[in-house]
Amino acid sequence: MKLKIRAIKDGKDKNGYCGPSVISAVTDLTTGEAARLIRKQTGRKMVKGSHSSEIKRALEACNIDVRPYRVYDANERLVRLSRKNGPTLAAWLKLSKTDRTSNRVFLLVAGWHWQLVSGRRYTCGRIREIVSIKDKGIKRRARVADAYELFSDNVTKPDLDVSKPKDPNAALRSKTRRLAKSIGVELEIEEFGIWVSPPDNVTDAEDPLESGHKAADWEEALSYVQVYEEFLRIRGKKQGQRAIKSAYWQSQFKGIFS
């Protein structure tokens, strides 16, 4: 895949932070997959702020080379980049104007924020779309602390599996919720389990779950819901039998007095 700035891709496991967002914008990964790549490479449990070495390592896993990029002033003196005294993003864009062609991609840290520039195109995890470098949403006064140029003959998927893991409880959870909804049972997910509340038409005196309503997992929650399903079935059957008997005797009485 050709290296260029693309739209940031968000899947169901969206990561809205700037590091995974810029990785997504130059690869075929979603932000969730990009965050998962960083976690697998570093052992981190979650990805919010991203260090330069983490972004570099993740991009290299996608066959993207990350090289420091230097700019020089009108007197050909090296412009020092730093969070406090570095050039503003607006100034850096002017200094890099000659090099900043549409076929080159630059990765910047400005205002503690990862962002991408290619020609006059810009994106970052805050704006989340490709805009002009003149867009009013860009914080052009932010100081540029780091600047890199990206290179790749072919952007690839990483060797690590970064796909979203399948939820082992998905089918069980879906079955439990469908059944609960069909018979009026309410489910409430709590920190250490699932609370199973009886249907409104089941009184406390009738409630078959005398021992408790809190299930430790979805398998136990399903068993609780099935208890209510069976209770309602049996109760409905008894009520039906009583109704039949009542109708029978009413017809008999009518026959006698008619």
| CA 120/CA 131 separation, integer angstroms | 8
Q: How far is CA 49 from CA 6, 30, 223, in A?
A: 22, 17, 43
Residue 18's CB: how many other CB atoms inside 10 A? Answer: 23
| CA 183/CA 181 separation, integer angstroms | 6
Break the chain into its structural domains and give their ranges. Answer: 18-151, 170-257
Tokens 């879906």 found at: 174
Instruction: Specify which residues 108 forms β-bridges with.
Output: 115, 147
Locate 228 and state its tokens: 């209510």
* Backbone CA torsion sign across 59, 63, 64, 65: positive
What pTM was computed for the model? 0.70
| pLDDT tens digits along 92-124 | 999 999 999 999 999 999 999 999 999 999 999
Type and span of the H or E element at 256: helix 218-257
The topology (CATH level 3) of 18-151 is Cathepsin B; Chain A (3.90.70)
Longest dimension (CA), the chain: 119
| pLDDT tens digits along 152-168 | 999 999 999 998 888 88
The stretch 130-158 carries a mean pLDDT of 97
| pLDDT tens digits along 168-188 | 888 999 999 999 999 999 999
Residue 135 neighbours by CB under 8 Å, 6+ apart: 122, 127
Q: Which of 103-117, 125-139, 185-199 has the lowest mean pLDDT?
A: 185-199
| CA 247/CA 94 separation, integer angstroms | 92
- In which band, very low, low, confident or very high, does the pLDDT at 88 lie, cut at 50, 70 and 90? very high
**In this predicted structure, what is the pLDDT of residue 248?**
44
Q: Which of 38-42, 76-80, 83-87, 203-207 has the lowest mean pLDDT?
A: 203-207
Q: How many CA atoms lie within 13 A of 54 on its CB side?
A: 22
| pLDDT tens digits along 12-68 | 889 999 999 999 999 999 999 999 999 999 999 889 889 999 999 999 999 999 999
